[in-house]
Structure 1
Amino acid sequence: MATCWCPIVGDGFSVKRFLPRGLFGRSLIIIVAPIVILQAIIAYVFFERDIDTTTRRLARDVAADMALLVALEDSHTSPDRERLRALSARQLNYRIRFQPGDNIAPFRGKLTSTIDLALDDILEQRIGADRDFRTARIGDDFEIRVDVKDGVLAVLVPRDRVTVSKPDIFILWMVGSSLLLMGIAILFLRNQVRPIERLARAADSFGKGRAVPDFKPYGATEVRRAAQAFITMRDRLERHVTQCTEMLAGVSHDLKTPLTRLKLALAMMEGDPETGPMRADIAEMEHMLDEYLAFARGEGGEESTVTDLGEMVRDTAAAAAKARQRNGITVTAPDHIDVSVKRAGLRRVLANLLDNALKHGTQVAVTLTQVNRVVEIAVEDNGPGIAPDRHEEAFRPFRRLDQGRNLQSGGSGLGLAIARDIARAHGGDILLDKSALGGLKAIVRLPV
Structure 2
Amino acid sequence: MNQFFPRSLFGQTLLVLLAGLIVSHAAGSWIYTADREQAVRAVGGFATAQRIANLTRLVEDMPREARQRIVAALSDQSFRVSLAAQPTAVQAVNDDVPAARAIRDFLVDQLSLGPARQPRVSASAAEGPPFGPGRMMGHGPMMRGFGAFAGFRDLQVSIPLADGSWLSFATALPAGGPAFSAQFLLSMGIMALIIVAVSVWAVRRVTAPLASLATAAERLGQDVNAPPLPETGTTETRQAARAFNDMQMRLRRLIENRTRLLAAISHDLRTPLTLLRLRAETVENAQERDKMLGTITEMDSLIGATLQFAREESASEPRRPTDLASLLQSAVDEMSDAGLPVRMESAEPVVYECQPAALKRAVRNLLDNAVKYGKAGTARIRRASRAIEICVDDEGPGIPPSELARVLEPFYRVEESRSRETGGVGLGLAIAQSIVQAHGGVLTLSNRETGGLRAMITLPLSGKPQSTAG
Fold shared by both chains (TM-score > 0.5): yes
Aligned residues: 353
Q: Label 1:436 to 1:276 Cα distance change in 2 as closer, same or farther (>3 A).
A: same
* Correspondence for 2:24: 38
State yes or no: 1:415 paired with 2:401: no
Structure 2 unaligned regions, length at least 5: 49-69, 80-126, 128-152, 158-172, 464-470
State yes or no: 1:315 paired with 2:335: no
Q: Structure 1: which amino acid aligns with 2:387?
A: V
State yes or no: 1:218 paired with 2:204: no
String of CA shifts for 1:317-363, please: whole Å, max 9, x gaps.
2223333432x42335542331334x443333222211111223345
Q: Label 1:392 to 1:303 Cα distance change in 2 as closer, same or farther (>3 A).
A: same
Q: Structure 2: which amino acid aligns with 1:31?
A: L
Kindly, what percent of the aligned residue pairs are identical?
32
* Correspondence for 1:253: 267
Counterpart pick for 2:412 among 389, 392, 399:
399
Asked if structure 1 preserves the Cα contact closer than 8 Å seen for 2:225 and 2:316, the reply is no
* Correspondence for 2:308: 294
* Correspondence for 2:163: none
* Correspondence for 1:68: none
Deviation at 1:34, TM superposition (A): 0.6
Looking at structure 1, the residues matched to 40 and 382 of structure 2 have their Cα atoms a distance apart, in angstroms, of 70
Deviation at 1:440, TM superposition (A): 0.7
Asked if structure 2 preserves the Cα contact closer than 8 Å seen for 1:365 and 1:380, the reply is yes
Looking at structure 2, the residues matched to 336 and 207 of structure 1 have their Cα atoms a distance apart, in angstroms, of 24
Asked if structure 1 preserves the Cα contact closer than 8 Å seen for 2:378 and 2:392, the reply is yes
Q: Structure 2: which amino acid aligns with 1:184?
A: V
Counterpart pick for 1:354 among 367, 385, 394:
367
User: What secondary structure, in the 3-state scheme, does the structure 2 residue paired with 1:357 have?
Assistant: helix
Looking at structure 1, the residues matched to 224 and 458 of structure 2 have their Cα atoms a distance apart, in angstroms, of 16
Q: Structure 1: which amino acid aligns with 2:267?
A: H
String of CA shifts for 1:158-196, please: whole Å, max 9, x gaps.
xx9654278222222222222222222222222222222
Deviation at 1:212, TM superposition (A): 2.8
Looking at structure 2, the residues matched to 323 and 86 of structure 1 have their Cα atoms a distance apart, in angstroms, of 122
Q: Label 1:43 to 1:269 Cα distance change in 2 as closer, same or farther (>3 A).
A: same
Asked if structure 2 preserves the Cα contact closer than 8 Å seen for 1:375 and 1:445, the reply is yes
Looking at structure 2, the residues matched to 348 and 270 of structure 1 have their Cα atoms a distance apart, in angstroms, of 41
Structure 1 unaligned regions, length at least 5: 1-13, 63-82, 93-113, 115-120, 127-159
Q: Label 1:182 to 1:22 Cα distance change in 2 as closer, same or farther (>3 A).
A: same
Deviation at 1:236, TM superposition (A): 0.3
Looking at structure 1, the residues matched to 301 and 433 of structure 2 have their Cα atoms a distance apart, in angstroms, of 19
Asked if structure 1 preserves the Cα contact closer than 8 Å seen for 2:309 and 2:427, the reply is yes
Deviation at 1:232, TM superposition (A): 0.5
Counterparts in 2 of 1:25-104, with a 5 A limit? 25-45=11-31
* Correspondence for 1:331: 345
Looking at structure 2, the residues matched to 357 and 425 of structure 1 have their Cα atoms a distance apart, in angstroms, of 23
Deviation at 1:380, TM superposition (A): 1.2
State yes or no: 1:377 paired with 2:390: yes
TM-score, normalised to structure 2's length?
0.62
String of CA shifts for 1:23-77, please: whole Å, max 9, x gaps.
222221121111111223344455678659979x99xx99xxxxxxxxxxxxxxx
Looking at structure 2, the residues matched to 226 and 161 of structure 1 have their Cα atoms a distance apart, in angstroms, of 64
User: What secondary structure, in the 3-state scheme, does the structure 2 residue paired with 1:345 have?
Assistant: helix
String of CA shifts for 1:354-403, please: whole Å, max 9, x gaps.
11112233453223234455333221122100121221232333333248
Looking at structure 2, the residues matched to 53 and 318 of structure 1 have their Cα atoms a distance apart, in angstroms, of 91
Q: Label 1:271 to 1:313 Cα distance change in 2 as closer, same or farther (>3 A).
A: farther
Counterpart pick for 2:9 among 5, 19, 23:
23
State yes or no: 1:284 paired with 2:291: no
Looking at structure 2, the residues matched to 409 and 48 of structure 1 have their Cα atoms a distance apart, in angstroms, of 89
Q: Structure 1: which amino acid aligns with 2:454?
A: K
Deviation at 1:300, TM superposition (A): 0.7
Q: Label 1:195 to 1:392 Cα distance change in 2 as closer, same or farther (>3 A).
A: same
Asked if structure 2 preserves the Cα contact closer than 8 Å seen for 1:211 and 1:303, the reply is no
String of CA shifts for 1:239-277, please: whole Å, max 9, x gaps.
111112222223333333454566678899999776655
Deviation at 1:412, TM superposition (A): 1.7
User: What secondary structure, in the 3-state scheme, does the structure 1 residue paired with 2:313 have?
Assistant: coil
Deviation at 1:207, TM superposition (A): 0.8
- When Rg is computed on C-alpha atoms for both structures, the one with the higher figure is 2
Counterparts in 2 of 1:137-286, with a 5 A limit? 162-164=175-177, 167-209=181-223, 211-213=225-227, 215-260=229-274, 279-286=293-300
Asked if structure 2 preserves the Cα contact closer than 8 Å seen for 1:217 and 1:224, the reply is yes
185-194 or 199-208, which deviates more: 185-194
Looking at structure 2, the residues matched to 354 and 226 of structure 1 have their Cα atoms a distance apart, in angstroms, of 43
String of CA shifts for 1:421-444, please: whole Å, max 9, x gaps.
333344333221122541111122
Asked if structure 2 preserves the Cα contact closer than 8 Å seen for 1:346 and 1:423, the reply is yes
Q: Structure 2: which amino acid aligns with 1:24?
A: F
